[in-house]
Structure 1
Amino acid sequence: MLQQKHVPVVACCPVCNGENESIIHSLVSFLVAAQCWHKAFPELSAVVATDFFSWRGQALSKLDAWKRAEAVTLRWTVWKARNEKFWNQRKARIDAVVSSAAQYLKQWKEGQGRSNIFLSQPFLAGDGVSLSVKPQEDTIKVSVDAAVFSDFSAFDIGMVARNSSGHLIQAKAKLFQEMITPALAEAMAIKEALSWTKQEQWKKVVIESDSLVAIQAIRGQVPMRSLLGKVVEDCRNLVKGASTTSLFFVKRYANEAAHYIARESYSFRDRVLVGSSVPVEFMFILQVDLAH
């Protein structure tokens, strides 16, 4: 498109440096994308096309409605992983890209469900921010996220605590070797964050999560007879016991720091990151957040 507008750019793919950049190359055929498609949809290995729209038509014709939704979500996570590699030099793991697609789709489905009573509650002032912002003076912000890895029957939690200047206090990763739903994982992540702030005896705390379902469930008062309900009730009690602790929903791009720790927690297994132990990629995310 840039070349069509007479912008002098190199046509070669900036990620693999092997072929000219095109839609089908970017989303389907370059090495990482091809491995993701083979892992998630081996039945599409026989689909051959020279352009993306022909490939998409053939692929969707072989899938049922739910599988089509999974395919669309996978295209998005492949594109996101490609951007992470190009802009942030973050190499994607095949299993992480595939499981991310499944997790996002499940969360979306849960959020759209008619039985989900939490989404009818109004946002609070401070909810829904798109970029990370510094908390008020004398307040500690704890960003939290969870990642479910079905291939490993595990879920990971990432927590990042920053002071009112936006600088890192600590980052913490926890790995749980069990398989649960994304909604339950997000609620457990918030419970871990609440317990962490209580253990550290931080006085005024803001906890941010990009799981609207979990945040509104904890804010609500409806009893829930399920494992999720038990975790939600634990979170409610922890919030009641800490009158200066607030919960807020933020959008994914405002929660990149915790998202990174959750995704990479296999590398940081049950570690506290601070000072010289902070990876370069994570430090870059923190610096980007500071610029907002």
Structure 2
Amino acid sequence: MCPVCNEAADTIMHILVQCKIAKACWQVFNAGTNIEGALKFIDWLAGILEGQSKNSKAKILTLCWSIWRSRNDLVWHNKRWTILRIVAKVWEYLSQWNAAQNRGYSVPLIPTVEGDEATTWVKPQHDTVKITVDASIFQNLGMAGAGIVARNHDGHLILAKSICSPDVMNPTLAEAMAVKEALSWAMEMGWSSITVESDCMVVIQLIWSSTPMRSRLGMVAEE
């Protein structure tokens, strides 16, 4: 049985098209889910992609992936996604993909700063303040939030703060705004030597890009 609705067999056609959760997601996209005579998913997909633009095809395929991810998260981790989260993940995936394909920047294969690519927190250099940022999307509130923590070279907590960004539903943009806030905060505090740390690879790629910052953030916001 379908682990999402428990109302029909757990087939690809049902999970991605016929399940009531899938139908609700497609309605958000204003895309019909009833292709006459389509009994198999591949036939339905061919029908709904016909005549669509490249961008629309990308959104449709990414929504299929997001719905499938939500199904697997429920099966393997007992985590149920809301319809808003499933749809929001589409914009997150597409934003990250488009940013990663941008030819205006590349990420060094070898870390350029001690601690880059570390999976645990690494102390900064002497007399340097490390500011760690992390953003989250609160879909039920229609806003983003971020935590910002500053530590000294001994690893001791100096200060911490949180910020809220109303109407921001793009995870990458939320993380970029948190980094910007961290830099402004450092200036206000008069810290002369700082390191800002983020776990969002896309934001890190954007920072290392040779493209002007205004253009890069505009690209993310439009997604």
Normalised by the size of structure 1, how large is the TM-score? Answer: 0.53
The total of aligned residue pairs comes to 200
Q: Which of 167, 180, 198 is 1:191 aligned to? A: 180
* 3-state SS in 2 of match to 1:209: coil
Return the alpha-carbon distance in structure 2 between the equivalents of residues 50 and 173 of structure 1: 50
Partner of 2:57: 68
Q: CA offsets, 1:153-207, max 9 Å, x none?
A: x54134487x9xxxxxxx98643224587654331122345677998x9x99772
The Cα of 1:78 is off from its aligned counterpart by 0.8
1:122 correspondence with 2:108: yes
**Contact 2:179 2:196 survives alignment (8 Å):** no
1:26 correspondence with 2:12: no
Q: CA offsets, 1:26-57, max 9 Å, x none?
A: 22222211210121133x23324222111111
The Cα of 1:127 is off from its aligned counterpart by 5.3
Q: CA offsets, 1:232-284, max 9 Å, x none?
A: xxxxxxxxxxxxxxxxxxxxxxxxxxxxxxxxxxxxxxxxxxxxxxxxxxxxx
For CA contacts below 8 A with separation 6 or more, give which structure has more relative contact order.
1
Partner of 1:134: 120
Normalised by the size of structure 2, how large is the TM-score? Answer: 0.66
Q: Percent identity between the aligned chains?
A: 30
Return the alpha-carbon distance in structure 1 between the equivalents of residues 29 and 138 of structure 2: 16
Tell me which amino acid in the other structure corresponds to 1:177.
P
Partner of 1:87: 76
Partner of 1:241: none
The Cα of 1:122 is off from its aligned counterpart by 0.9
The Cα of 1:90 is off from its aligned counterpart by 2.6
Partner of 1:208: 198
Return the alpha-carbon distance in structure 1 between the equivalents of residues 182 and 73 of structure 2: 27
Return the alpha-carbon distance in structure 2 between the equivalents of residues 38 and 184 of structure 1: 25
**Contact 1:84 1:90 survives alignment (8 Å):** yes
* 3-state SS in 2 of match to 1:50: coil
Partner of 1:54: 43
1:111 correspondence with 2:100: yes
1:96 correspondence with 2:96: no
When residues 81 and 143 of structure 1 are mapped into structure 2, their CA distance, relative to the original with a 3 A threshold, is farther
Q: How does 1:228-247 map to 2 (within 5 A)?
A: 228=217
When residues 73 and 206 of structure 1 are mapped into structure 2, their CA distance, relative to the original with a 3 A threshold, is same
Return the alpha-carbon distance in structure 2 between the equivalents of residues 72 and 137 of structure 1: 42
Tell me which amino acid in the other structure corresponds to 2:121.
P
Tell me which amino acid in the other structure corresponds to 2:57.
R
5+ residue gaps, structure 1: 1-11, 164-170, 230-292
Tell me which amino acid in the other structure corresponds to 1:156.
A
**Contact 1:145 1:210 survives alignment (8 Å):** no
Return the alpha-carbon distance in structure 2 between the equivalents of residues 16 and 194 of structure 1: 46
The Cα of 1:221 is off from its aligned counterpart by 7.3
5+ residue gaps, structure 2: 152-159, 219-223
The Cα of 1:83 is off from its aligned counterpart by 2.1
Q: Which of 20, 45, 49 is 2:33 aligned to? A: 45
Tell me which amino acid in the other structure corresponds to 2:144.
D
The Cα of 1:70 is off from its aligned counterpart by 0.3
When residues 227 and 74 of structure 1 are mapped into structure 2, their CA distance, relative to the original with a 3 A threshold, is closer
When residues 204 and 33 of structure 1 are mapped into structure 2, their CA distance, relative to the original with a 3 A threshold, is same
Query: What do you get for the CA RMSD once the two structures are aligned?
Result: 4.2
Return the alpha-carbon distance in structure 1 between the equivalents of residues 22 and 116 of structure 2: 34
**Contact 1:135 1:206 survives alignment (8 Å):** no
